[in-house]
Amino acid sequence: MSASELLERWRERMPAPLERLVGMRPRYPLVGVELRPDAVIAARVGRRKGAWHLEGTGRAALPEGTIETGPVGGELRDGEALVAAVREALAAAGAEGTTRISLAVPDALARMFVVDVRELPAAHAQADEMIRFRIRKSIPFPLSEARLAWHNLGRFEDGHIHVLVAVAPEQGVGQIERTLEAAGLRTGLVDLASIELINALRLAGQLEAAGGGDLALINATTGSFSVAILRGERLIFFRSKAYHVQGGFRGDESLRVVGRELRTTMSYYEEHLLGEGLSEVLVRACGVPAEPLIELALEAGGREAAIPDASGLLPELGAFETDEIGELLPALGLALRRLA
């Protein structure tokens, strides 16, 4: 047995309080659930014979309007429909008896920024105060009524420190979390879908852009789309946007919105992020056509654009179609968080 396998077995057997005491990573649930505007996706993993395996997957349709998103966050409109869909997806994944899950919510429920600062205070409280001060004018709701999380991405080429900041009104994410908890489902981790998509692609070795340059990722669902740019495995840009003020994807009209956003993103990337061109653009499309998005990525300046091939992430994925794997990726990113 290798050293890494021994360490993993030790972590799995370590009592949770001791794990926290020695500074180890938390024991994230092995069941990941993604909430999309149109569906709930569940993935369950397990460890057998020293390797991680996909134990089950599930999908349940989510009635239109169950979760609504808007310019300032979102709102859970039908808690009963949400719980029913989550339970159906979990049952299909063979996890009907589970009480702990990790949850990926739509990107549109939060605002996420990459903020640059000259220095970041060593004390967490002081750093938190600085970040709140920096983003206060960019948030259309009171920070006192929101959830905020941030992560130091390290020092950039210009000497500044880049910090990834996510902030969401308590009304949206809090509603969802409390509704699931009332139904007996505790959330061990709540994250944005695109972040867990990136995590899954990283674990699958898909973040190494062709030619070693920067890589972009488009994550498009029926309700909204997000654009991320990574330099190596470091996120340097993120933006999530609705196709329209009201309503979801509307074919060519929505594709024009995506095209404009990609052109604006490329201008910002080249002028402010020392961008020298995108070696590759990966497109994950769920409920919307992928090919037009690939064409738009190429028109905007991507040298190559394709649907990611993450079939090597787990042995069982070799039997899945590429679009089926793409649909599972955020849920798998959550379920495999113990490897992060």
What are the phi and psi torsion angles at 326 (to 5°)? -60, -40
Q: What is the pLDDT of residue 72?
A: 66
Structure-block tokens of residue 199: 């995590």
Contacts of 321 by beta carbon, 8 Å cutoff, 6+ apart = none
pLDDT of 210: 65
**Which residues of the chain are in CATH 3.30.420.40 domains?**
3-108+169-194, 207-307
Neighbouring CB atoms inside 10 A of 112's CB total 21
CATH code given to domain 3-108+169-194:
3.30.420.40
Please give the pLDDT value at position 138: 87
Q: pLDDT at position 100, please?
A: 96
Which uninterrupted H or E stretch holds 66? none
What pTM, to 2 d.p., does this model score? 0.89
Tell me what pLDDT residue 158 has.
Answer: 80
Q: Give 237's contacts (C-beta < 8 A, 6+ positions apart).
A: 114, 227, 228, 229, 265, 268, 269, 273
Q: Quick one: 207-307 is in which CATH superfamily?
A: ATPase, nucleotide binding domain (3.30.420.40)
pLDDT attached to residue 17? 43
As a whole number of angstroms, the distance between CA 128 and CA 147 comes to 12
The Cα–Cα gap between 296 and 98 comes to 41
| Per-residue pLDDT of the chain in tens (340 residues, 90 and over written 9) | 433 343 344 344 434 443 334 445 567 999 999 999 999 999 999 999 899 999 999 999 999 999 988 766 788 999 999 999 999 999 999 999 999 999 999 999 999 989 989 999 999 999 999 999 999 988 888 888 889 999 999 898 888 899 999 999 888 899 999 999 999 999 989 999 999 999 999 999 999 876 778 999 999 999 999 999 999 888 999 999 999 877 789 999 999 999 999 999 999 999 988 899 999 999 999 999 999 999 999 999 999 999 999 999 999 999 999 999 999 999 999 999 988 6
Gyration radius from the chain CA atoms? 20
> Which pLDDT tens digit goes with each residue over 193-227?
999 999 999 999 999 876 778 999 999 999 999 99
